[in-house]
Structure formats: C-alpha cells, structure tokens
Amino acid sequence: MKSFIKKIWVITLNTFKEAVRDRILYSIVFFAFLILILSTIMDVVTIGQRAKIIQDMGLASISIFGALIAIFVGIGLVYKEIDKRTIFTIVSKPVTRYQFLLGKYFGLVLTILVEVLAMGTIFLALVYYTSGYINPRLFAAIGLTFLELMVICSVAVFFSSFSTPILSGMFTLGIYLIGHMTRDLYEFSAKLEGTFLAVILKILYYVFPNLDNFNIRAQVVHELPIDPKYFFYSVLYGLLYITLLLFVSSIIFTKRDFK
Amino acid sequence: MTEKAVELKGVYKAFKTGFTMKKVEALNGVDLVINKGEVFGYLGPNGSGKTTTLKLIMGIIHLDKGEIKIMSKSPNDISIKEIIGFLPESPYFYDYLNAVEFLDFYARLFSIPKAIRRDKIRRLLKMVGLEKRAGESLRHFSRGMLQRIGIAQALINDPEIVFLDEPMSGLDPLGRAEVKEIIQGLKRDGKTVVFSSHILPDVEAIADRVGIIVNGKIRDVGDLDKLLSKRVSFVEVTVFGLDRDMLDPLKGKAKVKRILGDRIVLLVEGVENVDAVIDYIRFCEIGIESVEPIRMTLEELFLSETKGKSK
C-alpha cells in the first residue's frame, strides 16, 4: 500500500514541477493585480458597501481564476503525455495506468491548491486592509471554492484521458457553466413534468456536477446563517463526484491504446 | 534447454484509421521466441510492425488476438515491469527536468532507496557519457543526447530484459559504437537485449539472432550465423596455372571474376556446381589455392526478404 501511494506521489510531484517550471504560478501575480485594480475601482464607485463587494468579488475571482487554470492546465495534462509519447516510458515501468492518472490529477490539484492559497492570502490581506478584520467564514468559503476546483480538475482529467485538448477544453468549460445552472435545469424540468424534455433535463441535472453546492459566497458576505449539515453534505458530494469521475477515467484510460 | 525470455504466439493487431475507421492490420499472426541471455535484432522496413510488436510487449497497446509472455508472465502483470527496461523510438522526455532529476523520477517509480538511486544515476550518466551534462535541462539536449539519457532510464532498474526501439538512430558513429558497447556489456552481464534497427551492419555486429518482419508477418528468424550461412550466394575458387581457353567446359557453371598474375579467381554460381568445377580442375591437374563460400550479408538477406513484399 505504501509503495502504491508513493508511486502516485512521485507522479504528483512531477506534474506539479511541470506546472511550476511552465510558469503557471505566475498567474498569481496577475490575480494580485486584478484584485488590486478591482478594489481601487470599488473604492470609487461604491458607497458604504465596499468591504462586502470586495469580499464577494474576491471570492468570485478566486473561483473563476482557479477554474480557468484548472481547465487550461487540466485538459492537456494527460493528452500531452500521449502526444509527446512520454507515457510510453511510464507504462513500461511498474506503475499502473490508474496510478498514473491519479498522480496527474493530484499534481493538478496540488498546483491549484498553491494557487488558491496564494490568491486566498492576497484576498484576505486586502479584506483586512479595507475592513480591519477577517470574517472567519471566509476560510470556509475559500475551502469550498477549492473543492469546486477539485471537481473541475477531475472533469478536465476525465476528458483529457480520451479526448483532444480543444474538445476537452470546450466540454470542461461547458460543464463548468452548466454546473452553475443545474438548479435551473431541475426547476425547468419540474415545469415540463411529463414531457421527454423533462426527462432529459433531469438526467442532465444528476449527471452534471452541481457546482453551486460549493458556493456560499452570498451567505458569508451578507452574514446569513449556514447549516453545518450543508457544509458537510457539500464536501461529501464533491468527494463522491470526484471519486466516481476518476474511477470512470481510470477505466477508459486503462483500456485505451497509446499510438 | 534454452529458457524463453519473451514469447509471442499468433499475435494479431489492427488499428482503425481515418474518418471511415478503416482497419489496417499491423501484425498478422506473429510467432516469435526470444531466448534468455541473447541479443536479438528485430529488423523490418518502415511500417512493418517492429514498433507495434514492442509496444504490445510493453503493454502500451493491447492485443487483439494471440498471446504474449515475458518470463512466462503477461505484459499486463505489473510485477514483470520490475525486470524490464524500455527505450522508445525517437524518445521525447520531460524536458523541464535536468538529467539527474529525470533519472531520479524513473528510479523512484521503482521505489529504489535514495542512496542507491544517487549512486546508480551517477554510474549511468557516466556510462552514457553525460556525466558533465548532469545538471542541464533536457530541453537543451540534442537528439543523440536524448537517445543516451533514454538508454540510461531504460537501465535504471538493472533490468533482466532490455527492449530498445531503434537505439542507434540519431547517433553519430561514435555514439553508435558506444551503444553497441553498452549492448555487448549487457550481454556479458547475462541480460537479454531486444532491439530494432535499420542500421544493418550494427545489427550484424552485435546480434546473436535476428528476426525479420515484413507486412506484419515474421519472414525469417534464427541465429545470425545460420541464417546467413544457409544462404551462400556463390563460391570463389582460386586456381593457378589455368589457361583461359581451358575454361570453356565450365561455361554456365563458373566465370572468371578476376585474374591476379598466374592466379584466376573463378566465381562458381550455385553450390550445386562446386563439385563439378573442382572435379574438372583436378582432372586438368591444376592447383587449387582456395575454395571460399561467399555468404550473404545481413543487408543482402534483408533485401531479399523484403524486396517487393513491403507495403
């Protein structure tokens, strides 16, 4: 078991090293600039609500920025290994294909974690600077945003395991967008009850990840109550979704030929 | 009895290509046995199925039909990967790593302890002549250097069987000589080496046995000596004191290849004519200096097997 995890960790570290040396983490600097510019603009256009708006926009920026990085790094993650044939030497080593895939996934997650930690720190520093204190619930919001990004990473790795980067990018971006509208899909299907379209919409609701489950921005910013159960079920849902998707990805990846 | 290192039985593999998913046969019933401790040269023209065979053995692609065994185990058995090494054709590696990091990455996949890893990497870099470039990123390596570092990664686990796909390609004559020396060294250590190559004199110099594949089928396989010796192209008979006009009765059986003073080198076409030619020379009471069968070179054998048969 120790050796099994160790091999995944070796691939995880290598994937992270690739992201670092490809200067992916430079995007943090861009985020810092973006959030500083936003706060400056907010300072001018808002009256009294500045702190709340900065919190809301900051959390949204971490989510969108993290998602973009997860998608654009994730979609090429496995494809690049096949295209550049580096996978040939990996497969010839005592590593199973699912160990490789898990290693790549966790490497991407580690990259995103570093991004979120850096962006989170910049964001919290700005919050402290503008309002003089940090709402502890902001940590929970950032934590759930990270879980959302983990789900997006698993979607990107899933498509990357059998598709080209362009198609994977389109599919993952599509799922990211639909993932924030799944409640609408459900409500719409309820209105069309009894029709074929309603069945389709219901299937889509259950198949696509409900990314709004990880969004507690409004509750945190406006200091509304959050049921601890909600937090628990969101984490459970996220972890289950990731596990299922990685399991399916592993099956596909194990069965395919690398030409 | 010779122990089998690798065995292929009725191996069939087809790929679907193009928009219409047309099936193209890459291997069509390949039977092959590679013995333990031998250097096996795998030859064939481009697109004949050499790389496909190696990819199947490595588990990079899956079998359609047939059976592959490496030391009596399936290529999908992960434990078998502990004792094999592989260098793919025209390798491309993680170019953001330097040579030491690159080898360390592969060594860690074998769970080799740190102290042993460090020593192994140093030794391998020296062996492939890259010890002075150890800290340099692979991004700055030439094709030949990538080939060398690729060989080093294939040997990181001290494998019992090494598969090298075109190990000489991209190397200058010095590099080729070094690779040949590495392969010969592996043989001396009792390893099994399977390699494909287009450079036939190199194959001839280091392979114990060869297999020739054309259009996904094995055309010939066997000991290099036996394969070539059973194909005597012609026999050269050198005689002295023979007048040219005495040669008339040998018409159709032998012809003059060259005249060296009082010596005449006769070229006897077909082994079946050798007895008749020698009997006639003895009948004329003429001295025979030498009788030398001229064997086919590997290149001639390869060309005779592949001519008109490749796609």
Which of B86, B110, B111 is nearest residue A89 as measured by Cβ atoms? B86
Mutate one of A13, A14, A88 to test the B interface: name it (highest B CB count within 10 A): A88
Whether residue B40 has pLDDT greater than 90? yes
A215-229, B16-30, B258-272: least confident range: B258-272
- Give the residue from chain A lying closest to B76, CA to CA: A96
The answer to whether the Cβ–Cβ distance between B86 and A95 falls below 8 Å is no
Residues of chain B with CATH 3.30.70: 233-295
A79: Cβ contacts below 8 Å, ≥ 6 apart: A160, A163, A164, A165, A168
- The 3-state secondary structure of chain A, one letter per residue: CHHHHHHHHHHHHHHHHHHHHCCHHHHHHHHHHHHHHHHHHHHHHCCCCHHHHHHHHHHHHHHHHHHHHHHHHHHHHHHHHHHCCHHHHHHCCCCCHHHHHHHHHHHHHHHHHHHHHHHHHHHHHHHHHHHCCCCCHHHHHHHHHHHHHHHHHHHHHHHHCCCCHHHHHHHHHHHHHHHCCHHHHHHHHHHCCCCHHHHHHHHHHHHCCCHHHHCCHHHHHCCCCCCHHHHHHHHHHHHHHHHHHHHHHHHHHHHCCCC
Domain with CATH 3.40.50.300 in chain B: 4-228
Q: Say if the Cβ atoms of A93 and B111 lie within 8 Å.
A: no
What mean pLDDT value characterizes chain A?
A: 89
Of A94, A257, A258, the CB nearest to B109: A94
What is d(CA A10, CA A178) in angstroms, rounded to the nearest whole number?
Answer: 34
Query: Which residues of chain B have a CB within 8 Å of the CB of A14?
Result: 94, 97, 105
What six digits make up the tokens of B263?
């010596």
Nearest chain A residue (CA) to B13: A257
Say if CB B305 and CB B214 are below 8 A apart: yes
pLDDT grade for B73, boundaries at 50, 70 and 90: very high
Q: Which of A67-71, B234-238, B293-297 has the lowest mean pLDDT?
A: B293-297
> Cβ contacts (< 8 Å) between A93 and chain B: which residues?
81, 106, 109-110, 157
A258/B97 touch (CB, cutoff 8 Å), yes or no: no
Residues 6+ apart with CB under 8 A from B277: B237, B250, B253, B254, B266, B268
Q: Contact A113/A139 with Cβ under 8 angstroms?
A: no
Task: State the average pLDDT over residues A171-190.
Answer: 88
Q: Which value does ipTM take for this structure?
A: 0.86
3-state SS, B193-232, equals EEEECCCHHHHHHHCCEEEEEECCEEEEEEEHHHHHHCCE
Q: Name the residue facing B58 among A6, A92, A95 (closest C-beta).
A: A92
Say whether residue A7 is in contact with chain B using an 8 A CB cutoff. yes
Give the Å distances, CA to CA, from B42 to B57, B199, B204, B218.
13, 11, 11, 10
B232 - beta bridge partners?
B295
Residue-wise pLDDT for B147-172, tens only, equals: 899 999 999 999 999 999 999 887 88
CATH of domain B4-228: 3.40.50.300
- A221 band by pLDDT with thresholds 50, 70 and 90: confident
The Cα A160–Cα A253 span in angstroms is 10
d(CA A147, CA A141): 10
* B260 vs A130: CA distance, rounded Å: 104
Instruction: Band the pLDDT of B231: cuts 50, 70, 90.
Output: low
pLDDT the model gives residue A121 = 92
- Residue A215's beta-bridge partner residues? none
- What are the tens digits of pLDDT across the range A232-248? 999 999 999 999 999 99
Q: Can you give the C-alpha Rg of chain B in angstroms?
A: 25
Query: What confidence score (pLDDT) does residue A4 get?
Result: 87
Contact A90 B109 (CB under 8 A): yes
Q: For A192-202, write each residue's pLDDT tens digit.
A: 888 888 888 88
> What tokens appear for B304 in the block?
């005779």
For the stretch B74-129, pLDDT in tens is 998 999 999 999 999 877 888 899 999 999 999 999 999 999 999 999 999 999 88
Q: What is the reported pLDDT for A1?
A: 64
Bridge partners, residue B214, by sequence: B217
Q: Give the pLDDT confidence of B212-228 residue by residue, as tens digits.
A: 898 899 988 888 777 77
Instruction: Give the pLDDT band (50/70/90) at residue A151.
Output: very high
| CATH class held by domain B233-295 | alpha beta
Average pLDDT over residues A34-58: 78
If we measure between CA atoms, which residue out of A95, A70, A148, A98 comes closest to residue A248?
A98
Residue B308 pLDDT greater than 60, yes or no: no
What confidence tens digit (pLDDT) does each residue in A83-135 have?
Answer: 888 999 999 999 999 999 999 999 999 999 999 999 999 999 988 988 888 88
Q: Which residues contact B153 (CB under 8 A, 6 or more apart)?
A: A89, B85, B87, B93, B102, B103, B106
With an 8 Å Cβ cutoff, are A10 and B109 in contact?
yes
Number of CB pairs, chain A paired with chain B, less than 8 A apart = 78
Cβ count near A111 (within 10 Å)? 26
Tell me whether residues A14 and B94 touch, CB distance under 8 A.
yes
Report the relative pairing of strands B254-260 and B263-269 from DSSP bridges. Answer: antiparallel
Q: Name the residue with tokens 């690159």.
A: B102
B172 to chain A, closest Cα gap in Å: 24
Residues of chain B contacting A258 with CB distance shorter than 8 Å: 55, 60-61
Does residue A85 sit at the B interface (CB-CB below 8 Å)?
A: yes
Residue A209's pLDDT band (cuts 50, 70, 90): very high
Identity of the residue in A17, A90, A258 whose CB atom sits nearest the CB atom of B96:
A17
Distance separating alpha carbons of residues A85 and B235, to the nearest angstrom: 49
Amino acid at A150: M
pLDDT of residue A142: 95
User: Which residues from chain A sit within 8 angstroms of residue B17, using beta carbons?
Assistant: none
CA pair distance A107, B168, nearest whole angstrom: 35
The answer to whether A86 contacts B58, with C-beta atoms less than 8 Å apart, is no
To test the contact with chain A by mutation, choose from B60, B63, B76, B81 the residue with the greatest count of A C-beta atoms within 10 A, namely: B60
A212 CB within 8 Å of a chain B CB: no
pLDDT(B232) > 80:
no
- Taking residues A147-159, report their average pLDDT: 95
The 8-class DSSP code of residue B241 comes to S
**Is A87 an 8 Å CB contact of chain B?**
yes
**CB pair distance less than 8 Å for A257 and B109:** no
For residue A27, the model assigns a pLDDT of: 79
